[in-house]
Amino acid sequence: MPNSDIVQTGSFSLRGAPGFDLTHLFVCSEGTLGIITKIMLKLIYPPKMIKTMLVMFDEIEAAGIAVASIIENKVIPSTMELLDKVSINAIEDFNKVGLPRDIEALLLIEVDGEPEDVEKSAKIVEEVCSKAGARSIEVAKNESERNRLMQARRSLFPVLARLRPTAITEDATVPRSKVPLMIKRIHEIKERYNLLIDSCGHVGDGNMHPILLTDKRDKVEMEKVEKAVSEIFDYCIELGGTLTGEHGIGVVKAKFMEREFKKEGMKFFSDIKKSIDPQNIMNPNKIIKTKDIKVDYV
Amino acid sequence: MPNSDIVQTGSFSLRGAPGFDLTHLFVCSEGTLGIITKIMLKLIYPPKMIKTMLVMFDEIEAAGIAVASIIENKVIPSTMELLDKVSINAIEDFNKVGLPRDIEALLLIEVDGEPEDVEKSAKIVEEVCSKAGARSIEVAKNESERNRLMQARRSLFPVLARLRPTAITEDATVPRSKVPLMIKRIHEIKERYNLLIDSCGHVGDGNMHPILLTDKRDKVEMEKVEKAVSEIFDYCIELGGTLTGEHGIGVVKAKFMEREFKKEGMKFFSDIKKSIDPQNIMNPNKIIKTKDIKVDYV
């Protein structure tokens, strides 16, 4: 703690600890309340079987509809990654995985668990994707084929970063049923501002990663980038979404926090911050904006 | 909020909301931070199949070992209720469900889910219980048999309350692997103080419910009861457990909170409380003890 106390939070019991939930208060606090010195994690068993599928679409909206329908059909894939045309071509340019360059989007889907459940879920995924208008569905036949597909996804950020001098990865996360709407809006924003925006994402969690490919030295384009980002987050919040799925708020998005939490929520945040860290020595200016900081993109 | 603000916490997105986790801060705060005006809950589908089993034991320790082994074998029953001899006889005295009066303990176990998984899990439960020394295992053949067994469990508190003028239900919760040790210690405390203590509990969650059956007008016995309760919680915390599994802390257990959270944790609690409710108008004296209150048991 900022006063040098060591506090143990949580409980080894399944029912958790009573009183204020200090564990969850620290998770996502991004170092603004104190320093985590020790973490106990619960381990889960690895799945007995994994099935990896690659689903090709001629229209990105169809991929979005497939995502929402898979969830509606009670299948929870362990992986559901969306790659759009920008991503697919960047991967092919630098990695030559063998993805078709003429499709508009693909979903990389994995289901895992007990073998019977996996087969059942995979069948539902195939049916739902066909119905949503998938062009074709490929199933990885073995571990090495699976690795090739997953490797393609993992290489995405480095290959995109080669397209333009500056890559700004956003992290707008919406309810899963709203993924099709969010995809559509990102596309519309991209056209309107004439920007290069890649629409990938962990769409199975509603976690979109619009990656804005730009050049920070180009002041005119950077102004459009900032407007585009702002519009993406406005719409994300309108859809019941949130500013971040996994990257956090930090300094860069602190200015947007009030849009999600309103004045009342921000007062709550700063009351807690002040009570735990009255001297504001723990990661000041993160999450709760206290002064303007000029952000330099890498 | 105490200042009359309305704050919305959490997010509709699967990834949750950024910043301090206000939702979890309110859960279990027992009204000490503010009043919850609206709750959105996630619904889950009801299970396709439920299997209810009644497992009889000649020794209560064997039942505890069965509980720990079931969990070790990766089966998570949706219900796992322990009833000891006091419970069984009280139920039979007033309800005549047909439980054998000469056993020392029984476990009421339910597994639910997809039919194949239920059959698999039920088989593991039967094997593990036999190995732990169960005398016999009965499986409910239909819905009405299931209702009869569940009804017996539900009637437990009212029938126990008829045995003595005052019933004090405690809520000590331990890691599931420590259930056998906790059962043993409650038994030992009961013998040593010569008290009537029923050892039932939702043991599948490690949530023990020692019920102390006494008479609040008997000052000598009440002193022993308080010592027994204090020892139960000391041991519970020693085992990595917690003061409450579901009943909460309130006024009665506020005096034990420092045993679980130490001075440093209590400072954290009261800093948060003061920052959100500086005038201490929200359920004062609950969770955080600020003055001595005489508790009158019903």
DSSP one-letter string for chain B: -TTS-----S-SSTT--SSS-HHHHHTTSTTSS-----------PPPSEEEEEEEEESSHHHHHHHHHHHHHTT---SEEEEEEHHHHHHHHHHH-----TT-SEEEEEEEEESHHHHHHHHHHHHHHHHHHTEEEEEE--SHHHHHHHHHHHHTHHHHHHTTSSEEEE---B--GGGHHHHHHHHHHHHHHHT-EEEEEEEGGGTEEEEEEEE-TT-HHHHHHHHHHHHHHHHHHHHTT-BS-SSS--TTTTGGGHHHHHHHHHHHHHHHHHHHH-TT--SSTTSSS--S-------
Query: What is the nearest CA distance from B218 to chain A, expressed in angstroms?
Result: 31
Q: How much is the average pLDDT of B277-284?
A: 96
Question: Sorting pLDDT into bands at 50, 70 and 90, what band is B295?
Answer: confident
Structure-block tokens of residue A207: 């976690």
Hey, of A3, A9, A15, which one would you mutate to test binding to chain B, going by the most B CBs within 10 A of its CB? A15
Closest Cβ–Cβ partner in B33, B242, B262 for A18: B242
Measured from the Cβ of residue B255, the count of other Cβ atoms closer than 10 Å reads 14
Cross-chain residue pair A271–B276, CB shorter than 8 Å: yes
Q: Is the dihedral of CA A113, B115, B203, B256 positive or negative?
A: positive
Q: Which amino acid is at B239?
A: L
CA distance A287 to A256: 9
Q: Is the dihedral of CA B130, B134, B137, B143 positive or negative?
A: negative
Q: Which residues of A touch B273 (CB under 8 A)?
A: 20
CA distance B273 to B259: 19
Q: Does A29 touch chain B (CB under 8 A)?
A: yes
Which candidate, A123, A119, A42, A108, places its Cα nearest to that of A78?
A108
Q: Does B177 touch chain A (CB under 8 A)?
A: no
pLDDT at residue A282, rounded to an integer: 96
More confident residue, A243 or A13: A243
Q: Which residues of B touch A27 (CB under 8 A)?
A: 21
CA distance A103 to A98: 12
Q: Which residues of B touch A12 (CB under 8 A)?
A: 175, 240-241
Question: Sorting pLDDT into bands at 50, 70 and 90, what band is B30?
Answer: very high
Domain with CATH 3.40.462.40 in chain A: 46-248
pLDDT in tens, A80-102: 999 999 999 999 998 888 899 99
pLDDT at residue A181, rounded to an integer: 94
- From residue A188, alpha-carbon distances to A84, A87, A237 in Å are 14, 18, 17
CA distance B69 to B71: 5
CA distance A153 to A83: 8
Which candidate, B132, B140, B136, places its Cα nearest to that of B53?
B140
More confident residue, A213 or B292: A213
Question: The pTM is what?
Answer: 0.87
Question: Sorting pLDDT into bands at 50, 70 and 90, what band is B292?
Answer: confident
Compute the mean pLDDT over every residue in chain B, rounded to the nearest whole number: 93
pLDDT at residue B152, rounded to an integer: 84
pLDDT at residue B268, rounded to an integer: 93
Cross-chain residue pair B14–A205, CB shorter than 8 Å: yes
Question: Sorting pLDDT into bands at 50, 70 and 90, what band is A228?
Answer: very high
Closest Cβ–Cβ partner in A8, A21, A28 for B265: A8
Question: Sorting pLDDT into bands at 50, 70 and 90, what band is A294?
Answer: confident
CA distance B215 to A33: 47
pLDDT at residue A188, rounded to an integer: 96
pLDDT at residue A197, rounded to an integer: 96
CA distance B160 to B198: 8
Compute the mean pLDDT over every residue in chain A, rounded to the nearest whole number: 94
Helices B60-72 and B115-132 sit at what angle, rounded to 10 degrees? 140
Query: What is the nearest CA distance from B217 to chain A, expressed in angstroms?
Result: 31
pLDDT above 90 (res B218): yes
Which residue in the block uniquely carries the two structure tokens 């960047």?
Answer: A90
pLDDT above 90 (res B287): yes
Round the CA-based radius of gyration of chain A to a whole number and report it: 21
Percentage of chain B beyond pLDDT 90 is: 87
Q: Does A33 touch chain B (CB under 8 A)?
A: yes
Q: How much is the average pLDDT of A146-168?
A: 91
pLDDT at residue B14, rounded to an integer: 83
pLDDT at residue B142, rounded to an integer: 92
Q: Which residues of A touch B173 (CB under 8 A)?
A: 11, 13-15
pLDDT at residue B52, rounded to an integer: 96
Q: How much is the average pLDDT of B230-239?
A: 97
Query: What is the nearest CA distance from B36 to chain A, expressed in angstroms?
Result: 14
pLDDT at residue B258, rounded to an integer: 96
Query: What is the nearest CA distance from A219 to chain B, expressed in angstroms?
Result: 30
pLDDT above 80 (res B126): yes
Percentage of chain A beyond pLDDT 70 is: 100
Q: Which amino acid is at B38?
A: K
Domain at A46-248: CATH code? 3.40.462.40
Q: Which amino acid is at B43?
A: L
Which candidate, B7, B110, B105, B20, places its Cα nearest to that of B63?
B105
CA distance A134 to A128: 9
Q: Which residues of A touch B8 (CB under 8 A)?
A: 261-262, 265
Q: Does A44 touch chain B (CB under 8 A)?
A: no
User: By the 8 A CB rule, do A111 and A118 touch?
Assistant: yes
Q: Does B34 touch chain A (CB under 8 A)?
A: no
Question: Sorting pLDDT into bands at 50, 70 and 90, what band is B251?
Answer: very high
Q: Which residues of A touch B270 (CB under 8 A)?
A: none
* Interface predicted TM-score of the whole assembly (ipTM), two decimals: 0.86
Closest Cβ–Cβ partner in A5, A74, A275 for B264: A5
pLDDT above 90 (res B178): yes
User: By the 8 A CB rule, do A9 and B265 touch?
Assistant: yes
Q: How much is the average pLDDT of A18-36?
A: 94
pLDDT above 90 (res A277): yes
Question: Sorting pLDDT into bands at 50, 70 and 90, what band is A253?
Answer: very high
Q: Which residues of B touch A11 (CB under 8 A)?
A: 173, 240-242, 260
